[in-house]
Structure 1
Amino acid sequence: MRYKEMAASKGKPFPFKNAWAILQTFDKWKLRDQETAPKKSAMLRMDDSEDEEKERNLSKPEGAKKGKKRVKTEGEASSLREKMEQAREELTRKTLETKILITEEKKEVKLAQVEAKREEAKRKADLEERMIKVKEAKVWKELMVEEKEHMMKSKKGMDQEQLQWWKDYKEDIAERKRIFRGASSTL
């Protein structure tokens, strides 16, 4: 026993034999007996590092304070991990929501662009249709002027061939007018 090796206990009996009878069955005290007593030079060294201390106490059971501290730090670490996981989930959720909003806004912008292009195409088509109608009206006007000139032309001085051409052309004009009147009445 170490008590006998201590300088202050030389020649004195061990006073706690009844307590030692109970304690010697516990792992903590069994391991102490197996350890060799530290040498005087080791006791004098004051720069014991924590690593050496940990190595020495590696196989000893954990004390109550140390156990409570470990449980507390593990609880804090677990709580911190949960908070970090919740924060990560919240960040992921917000990121997804933002992406969805951006996607919806892009869709709305594209739909607006498509609608604007459709309206522009419709305006162009209407404009082209009006231009065609204006050109048709101009052609019809020129045709009417030509037909009027033809109808007003004097037949005096025409030979038989010219007179026949004039009559044929007059019939064509009359036929066109009948078709035009028939088409305009259906419209």
Structure 2
Amino acid sequence: MTSLVGFLTADAGVFAAVVAAIGLLAAVVALLRPSLDARRKKAEDTARLEIAALHLSGPAEWSTAHELSFTVSNAGGRPAVLVSLELFVESFAPSGTLHRTITAAPVEVYQHRVELSPGKARVDVRARSFSSQVKPLNFEKGETAAFVVKLVSRLPQVYRLRVEAEWYDVGEPQAKQWSYAPYVDVDFPRCGPQP
């Protein structure tokens, strides 16, 4: 036993012990490497959905609604199919916070697309290609709705146009009335390569 201790404490013994430890470590790595490579390859060849960029915005002064936004990304190597997306409520309790609100009605936003062309004097903003008739919109007292109309033109033209609304009072449905917005000029310039 003393000769073994003497050998290990000598320079040659320390060197031999280090070489033996390195050899043992290399043997363990050689044994584990196929398993680790298989796990890495499997991770690269599977889908992995991640939820990130979570943002919660507080309520506007006319509402108590919050808005939660986030992204869902597939960080894996194969396609993924999202079957369900749920909110899990871990707990809840009465709120002790007072949120002062102002009275305001929600504004509905109607989005439309209109293609302008020369010689076509009237274009129905609300027309749909899959329906011959569009139902009228009813506006209660004080009600507001927003419209977003995307204007397109296949030809480079400048159009001067205005919005016109035909309407009637429910008390006098036979008396048609019109409302007009001011004229605007819409320029669809000629497209070409950059000089």
Higher relative contact order (CA 8 A, sep 6+): 2
TM-score of the alignment, normalized to the shorter chain, above 0.5: no
Which TM-score applies when normalising by structure 2?
Answer: 0.19
Which TM-score applies when normalising by structure 1?
Answer: 0.20
Identify the structure with the greater strand proportion: 2
Larger Rg: 1
